[in-house]
Chains A and B, each alone.
Chain A
């Protein structure tokens, strides 16, 4: 599904990713954990196609196709999705208008017909119910006046509607209370499928109790320094990141 090879990235002369390698198979849920500043969010932005970063070396292959030459919208149409750590508020853009515009833009890019309004509303309502999203929220401008938890649920709603192949969840658990964490996790678990993979970025093992990963990778100083099964997350929770910080410093 996704293969990252020797990825080297900098922003304003600061090297953030230092030859990162990572493979996520079809249907796999991979978790990335790591201390602050290890480059986790940068990785998510670079996968999604944010232009501020300079890619010096390496490849990101989605089903064998290098996405680094593609613009963010082309990557989205190809099936990449980033659930933002801090979803943005867009005053004046109605949530429904936005959702429909995104769905249709992706369909158009893939050469598919536009969605009919009844089909669109049906799809939104079903996804919103599952995520316990109030219909009033859908009438407001995108994310404007939403709580942290509401914004994260809106991200998962978009993921559910856009049906991407590969989803990156950037600290989706940050700012969530226990109930919101459960709702969001259930929303994600509902989307798990053989043809869909996830990269779950988090600081805490807590999220991984709800979204149980197949693999766990530890990131430090811009590289994957250890990989293992879900038990690796528990080890980290017990021992902390100190070991990785010293290893890197050494």
Chain B
């Protein structure tokens, strides 16, 4: 068969030049494999719809040019950028602030962290060849993903977060990512979270930036949940409406580990959130949820790979998408149950509420099961708000718009209710209400 090579796009050529230009200024690269990642990326290029995993989210077409990596801002500029940041703002938490992908120590509570939590800025960790760097990229499949590779190649800053054995701080750590600028820029951050045995820890992540600027954040979160540890994670994408926001979370679960990760999307013109979960230990449980509210021109993609390689893992994955205007929702979810992973109990569901005739939803659930004693299922639904339910609510006096909002709120609320942290849950429900209110 003839080998058909894609012509390189302007964005791909641009990324190569940016990588070459940046090479000198990049932090020590051995530990993270920057060169190797970029080489791999250059060979495949930006994924187009011809690549199955990107069939509905054509990055090659969407990313028309390569935006230059953002410089670290001055403290003053960072302060101005953060002043209006709203994501999880009212919550009592320790904060690490990233402006344009660079950690701003002056706006971070590095000295006031929750008990048992240690944070090392990524660049310091690289300079010291921190032993924890070997825990980066804990899930094999993520390493072959072009978005994750781009993140590795252009990695500019981040943090290593360790939670001590048995530590159960009540106060969460909030990673506050804020973008600022009037011209296009790109960012690449990597945060590693390591929970030692029996630790319990809540991490909040908010992402926001300017409207009308074509900026390209690429954020990766690597997590290792140790034996009997519990990691709770709530993530809010309220990026500016011009953003192409790429994110990856890769998690390894050891014996009896518990995971809760909920991603709420209201922002970005195009977003893709990738979740790679590797069940390495026995008796784990995981709740992986998503709630996306999309308006005109937006596309949000949630792509999940749950790889069960050990006995008795319980997985509950619930994705809810509300589509307004001509928005597009994408859900790709795959559960792999390896031969060793007997008694796996996995349920994956993607539901979509279409509020207009112009919107569309792409659902692609997959199961790959090699064990014989498992209970796994998936489901996908798509439809308009139920007219009978609307009539019932209207017959009690609720105007149609209010009735519809109540149904939308209930629909999305189901995914958000899984957030254990009360303040974070309330904040996310507040995001839903604000979205509905803005919709009018």
Residues of A whose CB lies within 8 Å of any CB of B are 48-52, 71-73, 75-77, 81-82, 84, 87-88, 90-93, 97-98, 101-103, 105-106, 109, 141, 158, 162
Contact = CB atoms under 8 A, between A and B. Distances in A.
B394 interface: yes
Given A72-B394, A73-B400, A101 B406 contact: yes
Chain B: interface secondary structure? Answer: helix
**Which has the most chain B C-beta neighbours within 10 Å: A49, A84, A102, A109?**
A102
Contacts of B391: 48-51, 72
Contact of A49 (B394, B403, B407, B414): B394
B402 interface: yes
The 7 A-B residue pairs with the shortest CB-CB distance in the complex, in nearest-first order: A92-B410, A76-B397, A72-B394, A106-B397, A102-B396, A73-B394, A105-B397
A10 B347 CA distance: 44
A66 B200 CA distance: 63
Interface string B389-410: 1011111111110110011011
B422 interface: no
**Which has the most chain B C-beta neighbours within 10 Å: A76, A87, A103?**
A76
How many chain B residues sit at the interface, stated as a range, is 20 to 34
A49 B399 CA distance: 13
Interface of B: 387-389, 391-400, 402-403, 406-407, 409-411, 413-414
Contact of A90 (B389, B395, B402): B389
A162 B397 CA distance: 9
A81 B409 CA distance: 25
Contacts of A101: 398, 402, 406
12 contacts: A73-B398, A75-B395, A76-B394, A77-B397, A88-B389, A90-B407, A91-B410, A92-B413, A92-B414, A98-B406, A101-B398, A103-B397
Given A50-B391, A72-B391, A101-B406, A92 B411 contact: yes
A162 B398 CA distance: 12
B399 A105 contact: yes
A105 B395 CA distance: 11
Contact of A102 (B398, B411, B413): B398
Nearest to A45: B391
Given A48-B395, A81-B395, A92-B411, 18 more contacts: A48-B391, A49-B391, A50-B395, A72-B394, A73-B394, A73-B399, A76-B394, A77-B397, A88-B392, A90-B392, A91-B410, A92-B409, A93-B406, A102-B393, A105-B397, A105-B399, A106-B397, A158-B396
A71 B400 contact: yes
A204 to B, nearest CB: 24
Contacts of B389: 88, 90
A50 B391 CA distance: 7
B388 A102 contact: no
B410 A72 contact: no
A210 to B, nearest CB: 24
Contacts of A71: 394, 399-400
A76 B410 CA distance: 23
A87 B410 contact: no
Contacts of B388: 88
Contacts of B411: 92
A75 B395 CA distance: 8
**Which has the most chain B C-beta neighbours within 10 Å: A48, A90, A92?**
A92
Contacts of A82: 395
B410 A93 contact: yes
B119 to A, nearest CB: 37
A90 B392 CA distance: 10
A98 B397 CA distance: 11
Contact of A162 (B387, B396, B400, B402): B396
B231 to A, nearest CB: 26
B359 to A, nearest CB: 21
Contacts of B387: 51-52
A98 B409 CA distance: 12
Contacts of A102: 393, 396-398
Nearest to B388: A88
Nearest to A93: B410
B398 A87 contact: no
Contacts of B409: 92-93
